Each structure stands twice: as C-alpha cells, then as structure tokens.
Structure 1
Amino acid sequence: MQNKGLIKFFAILFAIVSIYQLTFTFVASNIKNDAKSFASTELNKLKSKGVATDKLPDLNSLEVKYLDSLKKVNVFSLGFADYTYADVSAKQINKGLDLEGGINVILQISVKDVLRNLANDSKNPVFNKALENTKSIQQGNESYLDAFFRSFDAVSGGTTKLASPDIFANKNLADEINFKMSDDQVKRVIRKKVNESVESAFEVLRKRIDQFGVTQPNIQKLGESGRILVELPGAKDVDRITKIVSGTAKLEFWETYRAEDFAQFFGAVNELLKKSEATVETDKKSTTIDSINNVLADKSKDSVATSKAKGSNPLFDKMAQGGGPILAVVSVKDTAKINSYLKRNDVKALLPADKRLVKFAWSKPDVSTDEKTKKVTETVQLYGLKGNKDGVAPLSGGVIVDARDSFDPMGKPSVSMQMNNQGAKVWENLTGKAYTEKGYIAIALDNVVYSAPGVTSGPIAGGRSEISGSFEVAETKDLANVLRAGKLPARAEIVQSTVVGPSLGQEAIDAGTTSSIVGLLLVCLWMVVYYGRAGWYANVALIVNLLFLFGILASLGAVLTLPGIAGIVLTLGTAVDANIIIYERAKEELRAGKTLEEALRIGYGWKGAMRSIIDANVTHILTGAILFIFGTGPIQGFATTLLIGIFTSLFTSIFIPRILMDRDIAHGKQLTFTTPWSKNWFTGFHFDFIGAKKWTYIISSTVIIVSCISFFTNGLDEGIDFVGGRTYQVKFEKPVQPEVVSKELAAVFDGSAEAKIFGSDDQLKITTKYKIKDEGIEVDKEVNTKLYDVLKKYFNNISYEQFTSTAEGKKFGVLQSMKVGPSISADIKTNAYWSVLGAMLIVGLYLVVSFRKWQYSLGAIAAIVHDVIFVLGAYSLLYKFMPFHMEMDQHFIAAILTVIGYSMNDTVIVFDRIREFLDGNYKGTFKEIVNASINTTLSRTINTSLTMIMVLLIMFIFGGDTLRGFVFAMLIGIVVGTYSSLFIATPVLLDSMKKEDIDSIEKRHEEANK
C-alpha cells in the first residue's frame, strides 16, 4: 500500500483531534451534573427556611443560574489553553429533546397578517378575496406568498394590479412601490418585505428566549418558508412556553366607556334577542348567573343589580352588568355566545351613533372558588374600548423602552414600564383627559385587557405606567421579558410542537446505549468467528470508526437524537461491509493459488473490491443525502450520523486493517480470512438463480397484488406527521382499557380520538384531530384541559400542572406530546413522496452513468420498487394486529430510504461482478456470467445481511417502543432487499436486454478471451 506513512499520520492526527473534541462533552456533562446537585441543594435549603411553595424557584431556573455563573469562568484547561463553560458547551455533542427532554416548536409567521399590514389593511375586494382563497389553494411545500400571488392573479383576471393605490401602492410603501409598476416588480418588493418581517420575528423571538433562561436554546429559520424552529432543552411548563414564543406582544392603551354608557344598549339587545330566540335553558342559566353574582359580590363594590328575572332573558341570563369600565361579567363558557350576539348586524344597529366604533374586548380569566361548595367559577370581564375609524389605539407598545416585573401598591405582582419621550407626551395627554373626564384607560396585550385603572391624581408625566391584574410572579417576569424584546410583526402560530419529559429522555438514552453496546459486541463476535485474526483487525477499525464518528459529531456541533443513535447502531452493521467485500475477494484469490500479498493487492485493487465498494457507498450516500435534505428534526439527525458513518467507515475499514495486514506480511504471518468453523461456510454455490425467475416472478407478483389490494381495503396507519393532529404518550398509575378510554375521549373530542397500548398496558398513545385546523394557544390549552378532565379519574389526585408538565423525575401523566398542523403535515407528506421518488431517480441515473447501460438501472429500480411495495404491504396488512405501532410517519420514510440504500448496495455488488466477469477471463454465455456473478458474491451478500439483521434485531429488542416500528420496517426491508437483489434485479436486467444486445455482449466477451 502506497503512502502508508501518510495514512498512519492522518489516522493518528484524526484520533487525537476526535479525543480532543469529545473531551469537552465529558467536561460539560460533569458540570451539568454539578448544576443539578446545586439546584437540589439550594431548593432544599429554601424549603428548610420555610419559604412558601408558590415562592420557590423551579429546579430548571436554579440550574440555569448555576450554569450562567460559570459562562465566563475557566472550567477546563489543557495547558496550552483555558476554556470557560460557554466555550465548553459550544464544543460538546448536544442531546436532542428526545434524549434531554424539553419543548420543540415550529412557528409559522402569519404571512397573511404581514400582507394585510403592507396593504394598510386594504378593503379592496380583489385583494381580500385573494387572501381568503389562498389557504384553500396552497399546495404542499408551496409558500403562502406564492399561493397568494397565484390566488390574486386568478381573482383579478388581470383587471386589478398589485400596485393599485388601495393595495400596495399606499403611503406606507410609497418609497418602494408606485402605481406604474408591473405585478412582477411589486412581487419582488413584497417578497423582500415579507422576508424582512420573518427576520424581524426571528430577532424578537431570539431576544425573548435569551431572556427566558434555558440552557443551550436553539432557534433557527427554516429556509424561506416563514417558519422558525425553537428548541428549549429542559423546559418544563408547556403553557408558559407557548405564551412566550407565540404571543405577538401587541401592547395598546385605550380609552374606555363606562358601564352606564351601555346599560340602555344591553337592555335593547336583550329585548331583541327575546323575540329572535324561542327557548331558554332556565336551570343552567340560573346557576350561571348565581355563580357570577357571587363573584361580583366579593370582587366589586361598583357592581350594579343584575336582572332578577332569570331564565327569560337571552342576554342578561348570561351576563351580570359591571361597574366603572367593566361593562359586564361573563362566565368563560358563555363568551362565544356573547361574541356571536355582538357581531350580529341587527345588534350592531342598536348601538348609539356616537358608539358605533366601539371595540369590545375581554379581560384575562379570573378564577374563584366558593368556600362552601368548593365549586370553581371562571369569569371574564367585558370592556368597551373607544375605537376610531382607523382602528388604531391612541398609544401602542412601540413606545416602551423598558419593562420590569415588580409589585403594585397592594403587594400584587405587576409589570412597570418606561416609555420614550414621544410616548411620554401622549401618555401625559391621555391620562390628563382621563383625569378630567373621570375616565379609565385600558391596558391591552394581544387584545386581552389586563387592567383598566382610573386616573385620580392628575396627568402622569415621565412616561411611567404599570400593568396589574391577577398575575403570578412567573407571569410578570415573562411578560416583562416579552415587552423588552418587542412585538412580533405578525401572529406566530404553532404548526408543530413536541414535548418530551426528561424521564422519557433518560429511558431513550438507556435503550440507545444498551442497543449500541450489544450490537457492537455481536458484530465484533461475528467478525472474529467468521474471519479469525482478520476479523480482529476489522473490529479495531470499527472501534476507531466510532471514535472518529463521535469526534466529527462533536466538532460539527451536531445534535444527537434517538434516531441518530439508531444511525450509529446501523453504522456498526455497515462499517464492516467494506471489510467483508475485501476479505471475500481475498479469499477467492487465495483459493485460486495467489499469495497473501497478491490476494490483498487484487482485493484492494480497483478491479477487485474497490470499485464495488465505491459504487455501493455512492448509492448509499445519495439516499442518505436525500434523507437529510427532505427530512426534518430527528430524521436529519439520523441522516447526519448515517452519512458521517459512511465516510468514517470507508476510511477506517479500508486503511486500518490493511496497515495491520501489511505488518503480518512483513513478519511472515499467514492470514486465511477463515476459522476452523467458518472455513467452508457459504462456499461452492452453483444455484441457477436465473432459471428460478419464473417462480420468483410469480411470488413477487402475488405479494405486490396482495399489497395493492390491502392498500385499498386496509389502507395504511398514517401518523399525524402525514395527516395532522395531536398525539400524547400518557403513563397511568395502573393498567387501563384502551377501548374504554377511546370512547370517553371521543365523547369530548367530537368523535376524533383514539387510544392504543404503547409498550406496557399502563401506557397509552392517544391521538386526536380535534380542532387541529384552529389556530392559537387557547385551542392548545383547551385540548390539554379536555384531555386532563377525562383522564384525571385514573390518577390519584393529580393536578393539571402535574399532568401536563415535564417535571424532573415525573412518572405519570403526559410523558410526551406532539402536534402537527395541517399545513406542515402537507409539506411533510410532499417531502416524503419526493424523497422516495428522488432516491430512486438519482440512484437510477448514477447506475446509468456508471454501467453505461440503462438495463442495469432498470433492474435496480425494479428491485427497489419491489422492496418498497413489499414493506408498505406488510405494514398495511399487519398494523392492526402487531403489538407495537406501525405508523407511516417521518421515521417510516427514513426506514424506506435506508432500505433503498441497502438494497442498492447488494444489487450493485452483483452488477459490479457481472461487469468484472465480462471484462475478464470468465468464459460462458451472458446468462451463465450473471448466474456466476450472483453465486460468487453470495457469501458477501449473506454476511452483510446477517450482520445488519443482528444489529436490527438488537435495536428491535432493546431500542424502546419509539423505534420499534421504524426498526421493523428496516428488518423487513433488509430481508426483502437481499431477496430482490438476487431474484429480481438480475433477472430484470437480463430480460430487458434484446437478443441482439446479448449476442453483441457475448461476441465481444468471446473475442476478448481469445
């Protein structure tokens, strides 16, 4: 082997660099453990001092405090350099949420809102119709903006321009758009503006998250889709996080009407509704008004008498009139009905002329408990904000330059704010007017009124203001952080979210570690049993390969996920593939009478094993690259480790054993690549594979037909990745009946709920599509609350917070949850189709270029299509009966693509041997050459498949419930892929060639052998 010294140098250098990179991971891990110990100790100290439970900090915040204190402190030294904790954490291998626990959300910035803002809230009917139609025509992987442009072109029919004065050629965009511009010119400007809005949203979110305080948060834009990924490892409070990341933080200050200003209006509305509503649920309404009046008696001295006639007043039976700026108090469950009343045109017509521009707004819910009955009542207050023709508040949050959490004069948590000079002047005028008119100023955040104080001591100068209300301390901290970061340019809707508890993450680590160790030991044992001392050399290469693989992951700052661990375990199976190809070829040459040195030279030569190794790995790299491009999140983690593993495996399996075997040659030692047990294994095959094609075609055709029938009858168990929805992994205190739970959930989720055993019989996977198309954090909270209300009876006194949070050491409740909105599920499905088709086309194209005959590509594609249909058919037939989940999701697509890579691996090895025999001295017809090629490579095919099957079985047994369906798909795929490379690819290659082509090949071959 040439340049042996250079290769040794690079191998040693690479090993040193890998060890150096991995050192930071070990140091960071130890420091995190110290942080956990510190947090527990501090919390116990505070408890021992008698600090109230609601005043105690959570463990996560204490851990963050400890780690923040070390960010600029030297925590590690290598002699030539010192490193702070910030340096160390930046260089470690980060664990994904499925291993660390935490919250992951993908936010979709509302491009619709951005377009409305850019068009200055245009009333142009063409513009608004186009906006209305955009969602329905938007295709998978198409941006909202592109769909809007298509929609506008279709609605306008060329009669209305984007540069119309009442659309985008308005005063706000006057510097960039004028009415003379073409639609294409305007589109370029609008694209730039939308991208600027997404960038602005990204910066706002980054500031909010930096101030929130979690270790190593990750926030990144996802291409040009307008989506932003936010990962918060270790975060526990789901509702709190969703408020922080999705709230627009649109702060507004409004003048308000008084309750007496609307008393006559509400009376008129009530009389109108009496005539239009025929029946009233008297008992239920009596209960509602009683509970609200009880709240008012405790809460407000300004409350006026409510209607005493109950059960006959459609409006007054649902609301109690308030006092001061509070127009009414309403039970939360009745707000939807009240809203529907207030939106009616006949109701709006009853408004006095000077109040036609009123903007109704609700307060934050107020929860109270009756001490006698212990009944919980949740109410909200209705306010009437003094609107104007532009619908713009007199003062907005853009003037806020600072915000701090504090306490009001009553000692309750509040948020104090400081305005800039311009805002201070407006605030002074606004408060001066309120003082003179004895009015009130409502402070609203995201259209929710938090407080509406009166002004009792004259105009407020200096720009100081305060938001107070029924806040928790944590809420005021979050609100202050959000206000300091600024408001989002548009709504940010959560289109996908994943919540993983730390205990589940630890289970995943344990399962991944166990499967990795057992898989490694089995592969090493098999190589020693089969190849003897040469097998030990392959094992050395395997260990070095793992060192290099983890070293590269650390240097790239990659995130290790559970599928990523699966990719590493699979690397163990494929890492020895190149060794097997070389060893099998060397054995052939030794049997032919060659010396060990000659056998190795031929085995490592281009016409020996090297061309086959390169072809097989190129096809594998192509499928891995497609998986990386089209996959998201954990799937990209799987693709990353798989791709890195391919490159490190090639280097280590080719060069490390060769260096060791060259040393044996130099010392006169003999290598036979066998052991006394394996000497005659998988040798002497002379099976007529081509002759059996009639039967294999019949078998495969039957399987394909049965699979296609099953697709139309059974279908496939499509996961929420493909259809949208919410899924929860819930751990119970004792076994439950999934059929019973499904019925109970279906009753509250409009029939859209399903519960299945997940692993053990005390754990369920619950899926629902309930309100998945509805947007807003309120909907997410509603679904979580409904789930809790149904399932809480199965637990011993569990609170909503305990049920939904991802607290450290949590054993029961929601261990993991996931939400996929319909827009992102459409993109995932589209990506899945293109990734599978793209893998087939790209690999097929590579084979055409490599073998210079399209028939080789056709044979390989036929085998791949056969394998994909076989795996899909197996899942369609078995998903109702297997004791584990067999869903079609992103993990399943990853398995399919991996199967394509391995199937192609086997096929390419056979095709390369056919090409070698045609170029060499092998005599016989083309059919005989094809048969001989399959038989002479059969030992490699069986060996590689066996190592893969062993590794996959270990993952199936020890890898945990999450990976079981994914691994099962690969197990079927490897078995079927081995079969198709032998019985489908080569027969199709032969059958697709015309007789004159075969005659020409045989003639050239015969002439070459003369």
Structure 2
Amino acid sequence: MLYFSRWKTIGIWAVVLLAVIFAAPNLVSQATLAKLPDWLPKKQMTLGLDLQGGSHILLQVDANDIIKDRMQSTRDEIRTQLRDAKIGYTGLSGSGKMVQVRIRDASQVDAAKAALKPLTEPIAAGLMSGGSVTELELAEPEPGLLRFTMSDAGLRYRMSAAVSQSIEVIGRRVNELGTTEPIVQRQGEDRVLVQVPGLQDPQRLKDILGQTAKLTFQMVDQSMPVQEALNGRPPAGDTIMYSKDDPPVPYLIENRVIVSGENLVDAQATFDQRTNEPVVSFRFDSKGASRFGQATQQNVGKLFAIILDDKVISAPQIREPILGGTGQISGNFTAQSANDLAVLLRAGALPATLTVVEERTVGPGLGQDSIQAGKMSALVGSVLVVVFMVAAYGFLGWIANLALLANLAMIVAVLTLLGATLTLPGIAGIVLTVGMAVDSNVLIYERIREERRNGRSLIQAIDTGFAKALATILDSNITTLIAAVVLFFLGSGPVRGFAVTLAIGIITTVFTAFTLTRWLVAEWLRRRHPKELPRGYVRIVPEVTHIRFMRVRLQVFVVSICLCIASIGLLFTQGLNFGIDFTGGTLIEVRAKSGDADVGDIRKRLNAAGINEVQVQGFGNATDALIRIGTASEKGEEAGNVIVKNAQDTLASDYQIRRTERVGPTVSGELAWAAIIGVLAAMGAILVYVWIRFEWQFAIGSILATINDIILTLGFLVVTQLQFDLSTVAAILTIVGYSLNDTVVIYDRVRENLRRFKKMPLGQLLDLSDNEMLSRTTMTSVTTFLALLALFALGGEVIRSFVASMLFGVFIGTFSSIFIAAPILIVFHLRPTTQKEMAEAEHATAQLPAK
C-alpha cells in the first residue's frame, strides 16, 4: 500500500497540477485573464442567479389556449370543406374539445364524411409517439350529426409542438436583449424554463416573455359609430377591440385579417422623420407585401388597425396605397417600448399564451453580497478545519490539510470543466465537503493509531491502517453519494447545485485520501524514517475508552421514542413553517435606500395598494425586510403576477428590491410531492445498498436510526419555526447521508469484530465496536460542525435555516449512530447476547447431524 512506482507518482501529481491550473482562473478577474496567453485555460465557473443576480422564470403553456385555437381552426376547416363539396349543413358549433355539425340531407352524410376525412388522418408518426397520432376522432351519435373530438394523444402532440415552438421564439426574444448565456429549455410536458443571469431589469424580461405577440393588420369598420355598437350589438363579422391608451379607446374591427405577423420578415425601432417620435418600421415578405398593397389600394381614405394580442396599437388612415411592402407602426412609444415591440415582432408570435407559474429574481446587489458571504464562510470554515486537524494530529494534520487544498482545487476544476453553475447552496455543498473530506483522513489516522496500539511496527501500522480503512471509507461515502444522486434527479435549481458539488466532493475526497494522502505519508516515511507517529496537541476523546453504551440502550430507546412522538404531535398541532416552495405565494426581500426598514410602513403601503394577505418581518440587518404575500390560487396564476408587480411598484421609491420569488399553487404542490418522493427514494436506495453490503439486520437498523433522525429534525424545525423550503429538504437528505455515513462506519467495525470475536456476546461486541470508533466519530462530527458553524454565522440569512438544520442533523446523527443504530442490532438478535446464550447455541449446533 505504501509503494508507489514512478509512473503512479507522476500520475498523482499530474492530476493535482491540472486541477490547480484549471481552478486558478476562478481566482482572478476577467481583465487579468484577457492579458494571459491564449494557450492557458481561462474558463471560469458559471455563477448562479443567486450569486450574480438575474431571473429564473418557469412558464406554462396554456392548454385551453391550444384547444381553443385548434377547435376554431377545425370549425373553419369543416366550413370550408363542406362548402367546397357543396354539402348543406347546419348547427356548426363546439365546446371544450368537441366540434359538431349536422348534415341537412341524409343522403349526403357519406359524402360529408369523405370530404372531412383529412381531419381524422394521422398528423404524426414516430417511435417516441408510439406510432401514428390521430388528433381528431369522428363519431356519429345520431344520424346526420358528425362530432369531432380532440384525442388525448392529439392534445399531447399539440402541446409538445407548442412547447418546442415556444422555446424557439423565447430563445430569439431573450437573445435580442443582448444577455449573456441565457438558458431556455423544456421542463416537463407543458413548461419552459428561462434563466437569464446578470439581467438588470427582470420586469422587462417578464413583459417580453408574457406577450403572445400575435400581430394582425385588420380594417376598421366605419359603417356605424363604435358607440352604437357598444350600446347595442356589433354587426356580424365585427369585434369591438380597445387600444392601449389610458383610458382605452374602442374600435369596431372587421374580423377578416389582411396580413398577419407570419408575413413579417423584419422589424426595427427607428424614429419618425417628421415628428422625431420612436416608431417601429416593418417589412413584409412578397406574399404579405402583395396582400397589404392590394388592401391599401382598395381602402384609400379608410382606417386600418394594427393589432397586437387583441389590443389596437394604432389605427392610422390609409392616405395612399402602400405598395413597397414596408411601413411603420406609431403609438406613443418610448425608445425602449419601441425596441421591445421590434424584438417581439422579429422573434415571432408564440403559439399559445404562456403563464408565469414560478419566478425567482435576485438583484445584482444581493448577488454580490452572497458571493462575499460565501467566500468568507468558506475561508473561515477552512481555517477552522485546518487548525483543528493540526491540533489533533500534528504533522499528519498538515498532510491532511494539503490533501484538503488539493481536494478543493479538484472540486473547483471539475465544476469549471463541466460548466456547472455555482449557486449559494453549491457553496454550502463545498463548505460541507470541507468538513466531511477530513473524515477519510480521520478514519485512516485513527486506524493507524489503533494498529500501532495493538503492537504493530510503525510501517506495518500505517500500511494496515490504509488497507483496512479503504472498505469503510467506500461504504460510508457511497451512502452519502446515493443521497446526492437522488437530490440531483429529484431536486430543482439550487438544490441540484448543492447535490452536484456534494457528489463531486465525495469522489475527489476518496481519490485524495487513497492517492495523495497515502503518497505524502509514504514519502514522509521514506525521507524522515520516524520511530513513532506524530502526536497532536489536543485530544477530544481518550485513545482507549470502555463506555458501556449497551447498558443504557433501553433508557435511550424510551427517550428517543418519546421525543419522536412529541415531534410528530407538534407536526400535527403546530406544524412546520412552510416556505413558498410548498405553500405557493410570493417572497420579496427589500433593503431601505436610506435608514432602517420600517416594517409597519411597508405593511401599510401594501395594504393601501390592495394587497391584504401580507406578512412583513425584519430580515438579517436592520435595513432589510422580508415580505410574504399569500397565493392567489382562486384568481389564477396571472393574478399573482399582477400582485407582484403592484407590490414592487408600491415600494420601489424607498426600497431596493433585492430578491423576488414567486411560486404558483400548481408548482408548489408538485414541489411538495417531489420532496416526499426524494426522501423516500434516497432511503430506499440506501436501504438496498446496506442490505447488499451487510445483512438485513444492519439495513433495518440503519433505516430506523435514520427515520429517528428525520423525525427529530422535523421536530427541531417545528420548535424553532425555521422556514421549511426546498433547501431544507436538501438539508434533510444530506442529514440522511451523513447519519448513514456514521452508522455504516460503526457497522463496518461491528462486521469486522463479528469475524474476529466469534464467541463474544453481542452486547459486549457492540460496546467494543462503539468504543473503537468513538474517537473517529467525534473528530468527524467536530470538523463538520466547525465548517457548518462558519456557514451559519457568515453565510447570510438566505441559507440560515438550511445550515441550522444541518447543524442539528450532525449532532443527532452522531448520537443515533452510537446510541440507536448499534444497540438496535440486539433487538433483531444478530447474535446471542450473553455467554449462557452463546453456550446454548454452541450446544445446539453440536447436536445437529453431520452433513
């Protein structure tokens, strides 16, 4: 284990050197990187929205809009096909996903079916769709009545096509804004995720994404006054539409569309040469130019309306034919609104209405504060761990710290190369890795000390310590890795960032412990020829202990069960302080532009603005406040967007909007369900792994101890009323991994002792195993606790509930591993527990007939 060939040595240090080279660009500015030679790596980690500011918006395609448009086009197609076939009909109508028509002459029913057959023909085929997709299904509930119903498969196909088209249109719109590295991708069957880092004006993004941008040019009907149409009934073929003016002006618009936005090939924001006002110049394709020129030739002197999403932008008079296929749109624009309209028209219309169902916006000021808080907490946490390791292990502690620095460089390098996004929870994952990374070194060092106490020579003790610690380290880290993988696949956004950094940290930790640390120790032995292990300056737990843990197991079980019952009772009576991730609603963090934040004044302003379901509280500094607005589920998703805009406008004069998070009721329900599935999936996967690696008693014992930890952590959250959100679910899953890490380490020693001491009673053997691992368990808990303590004190208010849950979890996880996970093996009769039972078991075995 301690011999390294030249090629192994070169390989180990090459990996470390490459990690440092690829991680180094993250320590300098872009300006400095630009001055370096091009052959040097210059890629930096992508910062998440919570670190550099920006917007995360989840949009949902309106299925009703898809159905409405498709049913309208179906009615138009039926009307056209039957007229062309000269088939008389009546009662052409529809509702929901159904359109029906009655054929007047029974003898023409078959001819009508033949004419309308194209409507029921397959519209797509492929492996992914499982064959042909028939969008409309024809039925004849009574003679002569033809009913077309949209199939579920057809709706799914249309939704999928609408989402794909929406992604293309949104991508063009966002890119037109000039933002860097926007992310536009499908999420689920009917949603589009948009992330735009560094965006300074998130409201502008929402305005641009929220417009369908269906542009049409239609004639204004001047055959009767519009007021007469308002008082009575508009003529057939006409619709009353309103302008965007304040107050809105009504127009009587002919339904016939002259030209639509599909015929537009370019649109640019310019200035009118006569009035110098901002306008939008447009240009049609040949087909659009021809139709537009013909319409303006035939209607000189009349008004025509330019309509965007059923709102009249302007209704100018046609003074002369417009034959060149170009024109301009005027309508009291500002320079920005004219540019935004040009962006919408160039990008094209969305196929359906998109509703914001989730929004998370972080201002650049808060992002910079988060970066500083993350750097400071990581630095302080690392210093605390470094000092503690040197104090505990002396020179070996310095070796562990060097491996830790290499470990951090590898994590940053891998994140950089993968193009992963670093979020605030991601920094938390790195800080947690700092605390847990030393666990492998602690396991190795404690095992080396134990082997030395058992009489082995120094070299034998070190060689055996590395060899025997390998299986334990792998088992303990794989359990945490399972939790991280489940977090990644079932989590979302920042939770995934935490999972990625944690998973990468686990892999790099195992690598550094069994390559770099081992090489450094071997090199120290080769060069210094020491006679004894270096001693530390402090010792938390004596080297050898004889604590009778099993003697108090029943009392611990009773206390633990009582606390679990009390926690469950509090869950049902007092309940968790659910965040908006699970309740839906809006969270707005503000900072006073001058002086302290006045909570009472903020509440009064919002109430005066008609926002009643509001809670306002201090948050972090005296200048900051946190506003929670209840969900508007009964008013729909769009109502929530209006409330958010109203609240921001109300406070904008005196407060800086630092962060906005809005989760619709639909998404909140899905997130709650995903959180439950995540915890159950993680526990199930770990249960299977422990069962395979050990025996069924160990698997059941580890799960029961973990359930105990989860229930007590939930009880802690109820008592403290810390906010329970997605990051807290990440904390609970990490506690699951951490607790099982501790439990597996102890179980690994139990398994080893079961092989060594075949006649020792189980209770005595479990006491021995707990005592042998007590020093390691305590040392690991202290290092992790120190790292988390720095994050709790300096990481900022946003992740405080997350870190507080972790701190409690480290304590309770360590306790349960020693006092619950090991003693519970006695309950399952892993082995006879007393000398008398051992003798009876041996006698019974001796009486069995020989095979």
Instruction: Summarize the alignment of residues 839-850 of structure 1 with structure 2, pairs less than 5 Å apart.
Output: 839-850=682-693
SS state of the match for residue 497, structure 1? strand
Residue of structure 2 aligned with 1:421, choices 277, 286, 299: 286
Distance in 2 (CA, whole Å) between partners of 1:719 and 1:259 is 57
Partner of 2:503: 643
Partner of 1:236: 200
SS state of the match for residue 359, structure 2? strand
The alpha-carbon deviation at position 988 of structure 1 amounts to: 2.2
Conservation of the 8 A alpha-carbon contact between 1:122 and 1:167: no
Partner of 2:316: 453
The alpha-carbon deviation at position 780 of structure 1 amounts to: 2.5
CA deviation profile, 1:32-61 (whole Å, cap 9, x unmatched): 9xxxxxxxxxxxxxxxxxxxxxxxxxxxxx
* Residue identity matched to 1:212: L
SS state of the match for residue 488, structure 1? coil
Distance in 2 (CA, whole Å) between partners of 1:1002 and 1:480 is 90
Partner of 1:503: 365
Partner of 1:970: 806
TM-score normalised by L of structure 1: 0.74
The alpha-carbon deviation at position 564 of structure 1 amounts to: 0.8
The alpha-carbon deviation at position 661 of structure 1 amounts to: 1.4
Partner of 2:172: 207
Distance in 2 (CA, whole Å) between partners of 1:777 and 1:470 is 26
Distance in 1 (CA, whole Å) between partners of 2:669 and 2:117 is 30
Distance in 1 (CA, whole Å) between partners of 2:287 and 2:610 is 50
Structure 2 residue 732 is the aligned partner of structure 1 residue 869: no
Distance in 2 (CA, whole Å) between partners of 1:831 and 1:916 is 38
Structure 2 residue 820 is the aligned partner of structure 1 residue 955: no
Conservation of the 8 A alpha-carbon contact between 1:246 and 1:777: no
SS state of the match for residue 667, structure 1? helix
Conservation of the 8 A alpha-carbon contact between 1:119 and 1:168: no
* Residue identity matched to 2:261: G
Residue of structure 1 aligned with 2:663, choices 795, 804, 820: 820
Residue of structure 1 aligned with 2:568, choices 687, 708, 722: 708
Residue of structure 2 aligned with 1:906, choices 742, 757, 762: 742
Instruction: Summarize the alignment of residues 533-552 of structure 1 with structure 2, pairs less than 5 Å apart.
Output: 533-552=395-414
Distance in 1 (CA, whole Å) between partners of 2:729 and 2:425 is 12
CA deviation profile, 1:50-75 (whole Å, cap 9, x unmatched): xxxxxxxxxxxxxxxxxxxxxxxx86
CA deviation profile, 1:142-162 (whole Å, cap 9, x unmatched): xxxxxxxxxxxxxxxxxxxxx
Residue of structure 2 aligned with 1:261, choices 213, 225, 228: 225
The alpha-carbon deviation at position 356 of structure 1 amounts to: 3.8
Partner of 1:891: 727
Partner of 2:44: 92
Q: 1:997 to 1:926 in 2, by over 3 A?
A: closer
Q: 1:594 to 1:9 in 2, by over 3 A?
A: same
Distance in 2 (CA, whole Å) between partners of 1:955 and 1:559 is 20
**Unmatched 5+ residue regions in structure 2?**
76-90, 99-112, 126-132, 140-147, 847-851
The alpha-carbon deviation at position 120 of structure 1 amounts to: 4.5
SS state of the match for residue 400, structure 2? helix
The alpha-carbon deviation at position 756 of structure 1 amounts to: 1.3
Distance in 1 (CA, whole Å) between partners of 2:422 and 2:284 is 45
* Residue identity matched to 2:211: G
Distance in 2 (CA, whole Å) between partners of 1:712 and 1:165 is 63
* Residue identity matched to 1:380: P
Conservation of the 8 A alpha-carbon contact between 1:542 and 1:653: no
* Residue identity matched to 1:833: I
* Residue identity matched to 1:784: K
Structure 2 residue 627 is the aligned partner of structure 1 residue 766: yes
* Residue identity matched to 1:363: S
Distance in 2 (CA, whole Å) between partners of 1:703 and 1:189 is 54
TM-score normalised by L of structure 2: 0.87
Partner of 2:13: 12
The alpha-carbon deviation at position 786 of structure 1 amounts to: 4.2
Q: 1:98 to 1:164 in 2, by over 3 A?
A: farther
Residue of structure 1 aligned with 2:437, choices 575, 583, 598: 575
Distance in 2 (CA, whole Å) between partners of 1:180 and 1:741 is 56
Q: 1:475 to 1:580 in 2, by over 3 A?
A: same
The alpha-carbon deviation at position 878 of structure 1 amounts to: 1.7
Structure 2 residue 443 is the aligned partner of structure 1 residue 442: no
Distance in 2 (CA, whole Å) between partners of 1:981 and 1:197 is 52
Instruction: Summarize the alignment of residues 145-184 of structure 1 with structure 2, pairs less than 5 Å apart.
Output: 169=119, 173=123, 177=134
Residue of structure 1 aligned with 2:54, choices 102, 106, 115: 102
Distance in 2 (CA, whole Å) between partners of 1:643 and 1:401 is 48
Conservation of the 8 A alpha-carbon contact between 2:215 and 2:307: yes
Conservation of the 8 A alpha-carbon contact between 2:226 and 2:250: no
Distance in 2 (CA, whole Å) between partners of 1:773 and 1:658 is 63
CA deviation profile, 1:571-598 (whole Å, cap 9, x unmatched): 1101111110111111111001101221
* Residue identity matched to 1:825: S
Residue of structure 2 aligned with 1:991, choices 827, 831, 835: 827
Conservation of the 8 A alpha-carbon contact between 1:918 and 1:1005: no
SS state of the match for residue 479, structure 2? helix
Partner of 1:878: 720
Partner of 2:242: 362
SS state of the match for residue 385, structure 2? helix
Q: 1:178 to 1:870 in 2, by over 3 A?
A: closer
Conservation of the 8 A alpha-carbon contact between 2:306 and 2:314: yes
Distance in 2 (CA, whole Å) between partners of 1:416 and 1:978 is 69
* Residue identity matched to 1:106: L
Query: Percent identity at matched positions?
Result: 32
Partner of 1:610: 470
Structure 2 residue 448 is the aligned partner of structure 1 residue 586: yes
The alpha-carbon deviation at position 781 of structure 1 amounts to: 4.5
Conservation of the 8 A alpha-carbon contact between 2:586 and 2:644: no
TM-align CA RMSD: 3.3
Instruction: Summarize the alignment of residues 444-843 of structure 1 with structure 2, pairs less than 5 Å apart.
Output: 444-457=307-320, 459-605=321-467, 608-670=468-530, 672-673=532-533, 675=535, 677-678=537-538, 681-732=541-592, 733-738=594-599, 741-742=602-603, 745-746=606-607, 748-749=609-610, 751-769=612-630, 771=632, 774=635, 780-789=641-650, 791=651, 798=653, 812-843=655-686
* Residue identity matched to 2:162: S
The alpha-carbon deviation at position 722 of structure 1 amounts to: 0.8
Structure 2 residue 233 is the aligned partner of structure 1 residue 351: yes
CA deviation profile, 1:735-789 (whole Å, cap 9, x unmatched): 3453564465346455311111111233111011253565677863553234543
* Residue identity matched to 2:281: S
Distance in 1 (CA, whole Å) between partners of 2:683 and 2:843 is 31
SS state of the match for residue 757, structure 1? strand
Partner of 2:296: 431
Q: 1:411 to 1:180 in 2, by over 3 A?
A: closer
SS state of the match for residue 660, structure 2? strand
Q: 1:734 to 1:380 in 2, by over 3 A?
A: same
Conservation of the 8 A alpha-carbon contact between 1:441 and 1:454: yes
SS state of the match for residue 184, structure 2? strand
* Residue identity matched to 1:585: R
Distance in 2 (CA, whole Å) between partners of 1:539 and 1:781 is 53
Distance in 2 (CA, whole Å) between partners of 1:126 and 1:866 is 61
CA deviation profile, 1:286-330 (whole Å, cap 9, x unmatched): xxxxxxxxxxxxxxxxxxxxxxxxxxxxxxxxxxxxxxxxxxxxx
Q: 1:764 to 1:578 in 2, by over 3 A?
A: same
Residue of structure 2 aligned with 1:196, choices 161, 168, 171: 161
Partner of 2:81: none
Instruction: Summarize the alignment of residues 909-920 of structure 1 with structure 2, pairs less than 5 Å apart.
Output: 909-920=745-756
Conservation of the 8 A alpha-carbon contact between 1:255 and 1:442: yes
The alpha-carbon deviation at position 601 of structure 1 amounts to: 2.0
Q: 1:6 to 1:404 in 2, by over 3 A?
A: same
Distance in 2 (CA, whole Å) between partners of 1:94 and 1:578 is 29
Conservation of the 8 A alpha-carbon contact between 2:382 and 2:434: yes
The alpha-carbon deviation at position 887 of structure 1 amounts to: 1.1
The alpha-carbon deviation at position 518 of structure 1 amounts to: 0.8
